[in-house]
Amino acid sequence: MIYYLIGMPGAGKSQTGKELSELTGYPFFDLDKEIEKHAGKSVSDIFTEYGEDYFRDLEFITLQKITEDLPKGIIACGGGTPCFNNTLEWLNNTGETWYLQISVSELTRRLSGENLPERPLFKGARPEDLRNVLTDLLITREKHYLKAWKVISEENATARYLQKYID
C-alpha cells in the first residue's frame, strides 16, 4: 500500500513521513525533493521560470514515476498536489490519502520562522500577512483535502499515531 500525506504547507507532511518511514520500514519520498532531483532546479525556480501549470504537470509525472513499481511506501505530497489536474482522484485510486488537518494558528506559528520567499506561494508575502495568506489558501484547498481517505486531526498528526493505520 502507498500512503500519501496531504495538507497545507507547514502541516508536517515531510517530517511525519520520514518518522513514519523509520517506524514502519516503508520507503519514504518527499515529492518536492523528488521533483527538484529530477528537474535539477528548486521548486521555487521551476515556478519562477516556467509557471505553476508546468510545475503541476511535472509534479504529476514525478508522482507516476515514483509509484510505477512501488508496492509500498509513504509519500509526502506538496500542499497543492491534490488540488490540480484530478491528482487527488489518482492518489485515492493508487493508495490511501491522509489529510494532516492543522489549524491556521499552528501553521502560522510553524511557518513564521521560515524563509517564506523559498516557498513559491508565499513569495512577496510579508510575515505579518502570513495568517491571512494561509487562511485564504486553506479556504480554496480544504474542499480537496477533505476528500482524503482519512482526516487526521492536529493532535493526532504524529508518526506514532499514524503507524497503527499501516498494514
> What is the CATH number for 77?
3.40.50.300
Whether residue 100 contacts residue 16, with contact meaning beta carbons closer than 8 Å, is answered with yes
pLDDT attached to residue 5: 98
Contacts of 89 (CB under 8 A, 6+ apart): none
Does 118 have pLDDT greater than 90?
Answer: no
Q: 134: which 3 cell numbers?
A: 494561509
The domain tally of the chain equals 1
Q: What is the pLDDT of residues 48-103, one digit of tens each?
A: 899 989 999 999 999 999 999 999 999 999 999 999 989 999 999 999 999 999 99
Residues spanned by the domain of 157: 2-165
Distances (CA, A) of 33 to 38, 71, 93, 155: 9, 20, 23, 27
% of the chain at pLDDT higher than 70 = 91
